Amino acid sequence: RSKNTSVLPTNWPILHMFPSFMVNVHNLHDYLTLVLIGLGHNFRAHGPPGTGMRFFITCDPANVRHIFTTNYTNFPKGAEFVTIFDIKGGTLFTVDGEDAAAQRGKLKSVLSNPRMIASTEACCRNKVENILLPLLAYMASTGTPFDVQELMSRFMFDLATMSLFGVDPGLLSLDKPPMDAVVALNTVMEVGFFRHAMPSCCWKLMRWLNIGPERKLCTAHKVLRRFLVEMMERRKMEMMERRKMEMMERKINTYHFGSDDEQDGVDIMSSYPNYVDDDLSYAKNIGYMLAARDTIGTTLTWIFYNLAQNPNIVSIIRSEIWPIASCKVASGVDAMMIFEPNEIKSLVYLRAVLYETLRLYPPAPFERKTVAADDIMPSGHEVRTGDTILISLYSLGRMEGVWGNDCLDYNPDRWLSEDGNNLRYVPSHKFLAFNSGPRICLGKEIAVMQMKTVIASVLWNFDVEVMEGQSIQPKPSCILEMKNGFIVKLKKREM
């Protein structure tokens, strides 16, 4: 991959590099990658005068370590990020400093509570066994092509809502119920991308006039508010029902030794008993839905896409699963094999497949930080107070200087130790998909468990056939979804 100077953005008088980025906005991640290759992992870009757009764009691991770990207090998310994601305002996803530390501490203890982990595992496993696999078996028996991205989006939406509210909205179903709230979440991420790319005065004017993407976002807010209110109501009803049942059971069983504590639900809302229906709670719930749903749903789709191009890797995954499968009996009408999260936890090659997908297709393709005080990057670049730093995770995973000359090949082996039995250590400033430093993702192990459960169960029971003539490309959004989805057909495996 020689340095191609023809892709470098033209530095126009007045408009600077703004036109080059606007022309390539439909393909921004790949365009940025080419520019970062051409300019040695870092460059500076300015918007038109008066817009305050002063960017330093990087995918240099040494700079990443400096920004996310060594000097991270100097690189907060910043006020502009908060206005861009005003929907998540005041939550962990937009704040810094002590406020972030307090919210993070609380959420970390909620997500690492063993009862919460057990409940998340059970929800995922049951959803795969009772809904996902039978639905896929039906698709296979009727030879119906379907969009993996839509299916995974429905699946993850149900799981994220269940872990938040303890209520299953039931979007993953043969009847394909309307997915307005899913579309609304996607709109939040698409309009977020648009806001990142535009001078803030432009999108703020559009918001004031309620036109274009801002109008779409306004409608999305209304849909999401309605959805969250409905989920809270359903949660209340279901909890009342549960309590009634428990009381009846207590009357019947005079030897009941359980405490009230043990009867409490294990969804996330139960850990926030002082819930009030205000803007902050709304923002927290939306933030959680975006963190837990979009990331995994998107990654699962890219995994199936990559595996479809690499049947040899599918065979290796099946060989790794075989010792577990050979001790089990298939269940259900369609005789399918389901794998317990605990059984597949230690599968090293399957984890390498997830990481290899996240390297090339990180669901959060870029991070945005602000410079609090003038600083010099390890690369030697100076940054000034108020500058915006964009870190391209998408490009970082595709740099020859970081991953070697096969950086564009899909090769899970690169994650394995020499004997293939363990994972190789790769520092998070090189593999940034789950973020790095004190703000590293809090849901990494939950995500790995859910993705492994889905991939192992689907690959063991089905062969995946990709429909021809598709154009696979990322959508311009803050989440790396596919623009046109990914259509496949399934065939039940004979065993």
Q: Rounded to 5 degrees, what angle do the CA atoms 269, 157, 238 make?
A: 45
Least distance in Å: CB of 59 to ligand HEM?
A: 14
Q: Which of 78, 363, 397, 476 binds ligand HEM (CB under 6 A)?
A: 363
Please give the full DSSP string across 78-113, using - where no structure is assigned: -HHHHHHTGGGTTSTTT--HHHHHHHHHHHHHHHT-
33 or 301: CB nearest ligand HEM: 301
Least distance in Å: CB of 341 to ligand HEM?
A: 13
* 492 near ligand HEM, rule: CB under 6 A: no
* 269 near ligand HEM, rule: CB under 6 A: no
Residue whose pair of structure tokens reads 């992992």 in the numeric block: 41
Asked whether 159 and 288 are in contact (CB, 8 A), the reply is no
16 or 127: CB nearest ligand HEM: 127
* 441 near ligand HEM, rule: CB under 6 A: yes
Residue 105 CA to residue 102 CA, distance in Å, equals 5
Least distance in Å: CB of 446 to ligand HEM?
A: 5
User: Which listed range, 132-140, 174-182, 396-404, 428-436, lies at the site for ligand HEM (CB under 6 A)?
Assistant: 428-436
Q: Which of 128, 292, 317, 456 binds ligand HEM (CB under 6 A)?
A: 292
Which amino acid is located at 154 in the chain? R
Residue 354 CA to residue 456 CA, distance in Å, equals 12
213 or 443: CB nearest ligand HEM: 443
446 or 464: CB nearest ligand HEM: 446
* 397 near ligand HEM, rule: CB under 6 A: no
Q: Which of 107, 132, 172, 479 binds ligand HEM (CB under 6 A)?
A: 107
Q: Characterize the bridge pairing of strands 388-392 and 54-58.
A: parallel
> What is the enclosing helix (H) or strand (E) of 370?
strand 366-370
Q: Which of 135, 179, 314, 442 binds ligand HEM (CB under 6 A)?
A: 442
Least distance in Å: CB of 433 to ligand HEM?
A: 5
> What is the enclosing helix (H) or strand (E) of 261?
helix 260-263
Nearest by Cα to 356 from 316, 393, 397? 397
Phi, psi at 418, each rounded to 5°: -60, -40
Residue whose pair of structure tokens reads 């305002």 in the numeric block: 89
The contact pattern for ligand HEM, residues 317-346, with x = CB under 6 A and - = no contact, is ------------------------------
User: Which listed range, 42-50, 174-182, 358-366, 466-474, lies at the site for ligand HEM (CB under 6 A)?
Assistant: 358-366
User: Which listed range, 8-16, 222-230, 305-313, 432-440, lies at the site for ligand HEM (CB under 6 A)?
Assistant: 432-440
Q: Which of 28, 53, 67, 92 binds ligand HEM (CB under 6 A)?
A: 92
Sequence-ordered list of residues with C-beta below 8 angstroms from that of 162, at least 6 positions apart, any chain: 123, 127, 168, 267
* 434 near ligand HEM, rule: CB under 6 A: yes
18 or 366: CB nearest ligand HEM: 366
Nearest residue (beta carbon) to ligand HEM: 443
Least distance in Å: CB of 338 to ligand HEM?
A: 21
> What is the enclosing helix (H) or strand (E) of 490?
strand 487-492
Which amino acid is located at 362 in the chain? P
Residue 441 CA to residue 434 CA, distance in Å, equals 5
Residue 127 CA to residue 130 CA, distance in Å, equals 5
Least distance in Å: CB of 114 to ligand HEM?
A: 15
* 37 near ligand HEM, rule: CB under 6 A: no
Residue 354 CA to residue 347 CA, distance in Å, equals 11
User: Which listed range, 200-208, 212-220, 422-430, 441-449, lies at the site for ligand HEM (CB under 6 A)?
Assistant: 441-449
Asked whether 390 and 75 are in contact (CB, 8 A), the reply is no
Site size toward ligand HEM, by CB under 6 A:
23
* 447 near ligand HEM, rule: CB under 6 A: yes
* 295 near ligand HEM, rule: CB under 6 A: yes
User: Which listed range, 55-63, 123-131, 363-371, 418-426, lies at the site for ligand HEM (CB under 6 A)?
Assistant: 363-371
Least distance in Å: CB of 94 to ligand HEM?
A: 8
* 299 near ligand HEM, rule: CB under 6 A: yes
For 66, which DSSP code? I
Query: Per the structure block, which two tokens stand in for 141?
Result: 């028996």
* 433 near ligand HEM, rule: CB under 6 A: yes
Strand partners, 382: 376
For 439, which DSSP code? G
* 137 near ligand HEM, rule: CB under 6 A: no
Sequence-ordered list of residues with C-beta below 8 angstroms from that of 256, at least 6 positions apart, any chain: 249, 250
Residue 245 CA to residue 254 CA, distance in Å, equals 15
Q: Which of 297, 443, 476, 485 binds ligand HEM (CB under 6 A)?
A: 443
CA atoms within 13 A of residue 30's CA, in its CB half-sphere: 9
Binding stretches for ligand HEM (CB under 6 A): 92-93, 104, 107, 111, 291-292, 295-296, 299, 358, 363-364, 367, 433-435, 439, 441-443, 446-447
